[in-house]
Structure 1
Amino acid sequence: MNSKTNTTGAKADTKPALVPKLRFPQFREAEGWRSTPLNRLAIRVKQKNRDEKIDRVLTNSAEFGVVNQRDFFDKDIATQGKLEGYFIVELGSYVYNPRISSTAPVGPISKNKIGTGVMSPLYTVFKFKDDRNDFYEYFFKTTGWHTYMRQASSTGARHDRMAISSDDFMAMPLPVSSPDEQQKIADCLISLDELIVAQGCKVDALKTHKKGLMQQLFPREGETQPDLRFPEFQNTGEWEREELSNCLKKVIDYRGKAPPKSESGVPLITAKNVRFGWLDMTNDEYIEENKYEEWMTRGIPQAGDILFTTEAPLGNVALFPCAGKFALGQRLLTLRSKSERCLPEFLLHSLLSPTMQEDIDFHSTGSTAKGIKSAVFVKLNFCYPKDIDEQQRIANCLTSLDDFIAAQIHKLESLKAHKKALMQQLFPFLEGAEV
């Protein structure tokens, strides 16, 4: 056992009082918090699944918490006949998964909220003595306990898993205040979570609405009129149906060897930057300034050009930035439309329509990473209204909806960021720990 830890709990609560940065008004004059080892507040669960009476296998995901293994992996990882050694995890118990990841650098601790099941003996299962423990569910979502885990774990740990004994784990120091203050913090964060969930549902509903609207605004396969047309265009006749290439002025295909990346220079747009209708430049990559002209000899995109991913991920579309200098990486096509025939904004939304996405997928090849060749892509069936004004009307409608969805997504991300910042202030710093 690590000499720095104390599993007996005999000398608990001897450290100086802890004070969080933010306290609710009714507790500001109360005494400070204290630090108490987990083994004083909870008991370790070691009940095995004898006779395999329980066949519901659970797993602890860093992103989703405790979930059914079958739902998470789309199959059973653990096989029947080998579950006798698994721990029984009751509703309300907590589970520590020692597997580390970018989102859980020392492994996640999650509360079982879905019902009784069994888990691998590689996990550590424990249950708080007090049923009012939502406070600790939120504490384990902070990083306030990470420093202890790093200090108590073995230096010979596998690169993807923490090596910490059960005794050392149960000696983890936890912050303790009055039950009323802990419940107040939990209630606050629960309310914020409910708000986040409601906002997430709103975003999902808007996305579903947009998908249904696009199914009506664009003709189905083999048809030349959509189910829904704006009033001023209802008597303007059928749409034109022909090869996509007939509506394109230029196609630039970036294939071959990988671009000469560097730590700075001209920003590089790759397939992973092109999302479903928008450009994500948070993952910055560059090529050297003096290699830009040589790399872009196949053609330099212009404002209004459309970027299309030919594979991994297939079928994503975004407009090329109107301002700035950018280089393009592999697996991208640049499409320049004949604006007198097909507006760029209409082409963008048309490529994102359910009918076009299904056609792109149908003509793609490959088993693991599906892709489509540019020569095949430009020959796809393309349907558009001859009236440029109708194209503009459709594009404006969907662009406005996209802007509204983006605003709601921004609100959702702001709520998540607010919660993260709030949690950093509601929980005190433990000595030698980061929050």
Structure 2
Amino acid sequence: MGCTKSLDKYKKTKTAQAGDLIMSVRAPVGAMGKTAYDIVIGRGVAAIKGNEFIYQTLVKYDADRYWKKLAAGSTFESVNSNEVKGAIINVPQDIEEQKKIGEYFLNLDHLITLNQQKITLLTKLKKAMLEKMFPKKGSVIPEIRFNGFANAWEQQKLGEVFETVTDYVAAGSFADLAENVVYRDTPNYAQLVRTTDLKNGFHSGSNVYVDKKAFDFLYRVNLDKECIILPNIGNCGEVYLVIPDDLPYKHNVLGPNAILIRSDTSDNVFLSILLQGKDFQEKLSLIISPNGQTKFNKTELKQISLNMPKQSDEQHQLGAYFSQLDRLITLHRSKIDKIKNMKKAMLDQMFIQ
């Protein structure tokens, strides 16, 4: 049997000891954490002495926007001491039940943290290897190479490496686009792929579609072949490798504010990694407009010089190595999403609403 109790029972203090619960009482109201040290707390946070069950209860309160509803209408989002103390929570009378519930969710949190740590390590490894397996500025030979390769890398302009450099507006004038392309919010012949879709893995929930007429009109940016997408208005510097079979929709075209590039002679997987490297990113930064929203154009992009191996085998091995790192990072992100979804579902089912 459970009972309801006020949070006032769980002492709210101006100091916190290691293990105490910390709650934000100003924007973002309700965010929860724990302290690993003895601390003195400042304005904007409250320290609460409670067990793991209480912590997970307050995590659920935050997810359910309980505190934000209390703060609604305030000029500055916040909750006061009385509102925190007066919050009513449902608590099992059996301490052992509290303990088991708390331990269950603590284990889920540990799994999330473990996967986040693996992502951090893999991201650091990728950054380090990008610097060592690609020549430094002024050099034509990388510090680390796969066995069997010794030739110096060669410089080529991006416009020479990529036979295709195009974008959404290459289809025609704004008047032509307005006449031939109509955005639709329900499934149609093709999906209009935006860089935000590529960034969030098509999980925004607000997809855009076009009909067959628009799809044919936008043939230059048809995503039916492996290619690389570079946002050129906002988020400049991001690089997305597009593999047609990995896209969620059968027919796809690229939306505005991005450039599609494709090589028919070099390894596009390798090239997508090359464009993430320090050398290209520094050169790209020089052509990005510093005023207002960041942007660059195709003409200047084509003039950027790329330092790359001539041998296709070396390109392929480099692309495969970094693709494996990316797959591992994606795998751990997917695990985190699954655990978070499980935690949310179990919070709803194991706590009284």
Q: 1:185 aligns to what?
A: 101
Q: 2:201 aligns to what?
A: 280
- Matches for 1:307-326 after TM superposition, within 5 Å: 307-323=229-245, 324-326=250-252
Deviation at 1:272, TM superposition (A): 1.7
- Matches for 1:239-258 after TM superposition, within 5 Å: 239-255=153-169
Which structure has the larger Rg over C-alpha atoms? 1
Say if 1:268 and 1:97 are closer, same or farther in 2 by CA, change over 3 A: farther
CA RMSD of superposed structures (Å) = 3.2
Match of 2:117 among 189, 196, 201: 201
Letter in 1 for 2:106: I
Check the 8 A contact 1:33/1:175 in 2, yes or no: yes
Say if 1:239 and 1:294 are closer, same or farther in 2 by CA, change over 3 A: same
Q: 2:299 aligns to what?
A: 375
Deviation at 1:206, TM superposition (A): 1.1
Give percent identity, aligned residues only: 19
Letter in 1 for 2:238: N
Whole-Å separation in 2 of the counterparts to 1:262 and 1:36: 50
Whole-Å separation in 1 of the counterparts to 2:213 and 2:30: 44
Whole-Å separation in 2 of the counterparts to 1:93 and 1:388: 56
In structure 1, runs of 5+ residues without a counterpart are: 1-31, 46-87, 101-106
SS of residue in 1 equivalent to 2:236: coil
Letter in 1 for 2:183: K
Give the TM-score normalised by structure 1.
0.67
Q: 1:425 aligns to what?
A: 349
Match of 1:289 among 191, 208, 211: 211
Say if 1:160 and 1:301 are closer, same or farther in 2 by CA, change over 3 A: farther
Deviation at 1:403, TM superposition (A): 2.0
Say if 1:98 and 1:119 are closer, same or farther in 2 by CA, change over 3 A: closer
SS of residue in 2 equivalent to 1:220: coil
Say if 1:160 and 1:288 are closer, same or farther in 2 by CA, change over 3 A: farther
Check the 8 A contact 2:31/2:62 in 1, yes or no: no
Q: 1:22 aligns to what?
A: none
Letter in 1 for 2:201: D
Whole-Å separation in 1 of the counterparts to 2:273 and 2:65: 48
In structure 2, runs of 5+ residues without a counterpart are: none
Whole-Å separation in 1 of the counterparts to 2:27 and 2:62: 18
Give the number of aligned pairs.
333
Letter in 2 for 1:188: Y
* Residue 33 (str. 1) matches residue 2 (str. 2): yes
Say if 1:149 and 1:349 are closer, same or farther in 2 by CA, change over 3 A: closer
Q: 2:127 aligns to what?
A: 211
Give the TM-score normalised by structure 2.
0.81
**Structure 1 or 2: more helix by fraction:** 2
Deviation at 1:245, TM superposition (A): 0.8
Say if 1:38 and 1:405 are closer, same or farther in 2 by CA, change over 3 A: closer
Say if 1:262 and 1:97 are closer, same or farther in 2 by CA, change over 3 A: farther
Say if 1:159 and 1:262 are closer, same or farther in 2 by CA, change over 3 A: farther
Check the 8 A contact 2:223/2:244 in 1, yes or no: no
Deviation at 1:191, TM superposition (A): 3.5
Whole-Å separation in 1 of the counterparts to 2:21 and 2:329: 38
* Residue 172 (str. 1) matches residue 87 (str. 2): yes
Letter in 2 for 1:292: A
Check the 8 A contact 1:138/1:186 in 2, yes or no: yes
Q: 1:42 aligns to what?
A: 10
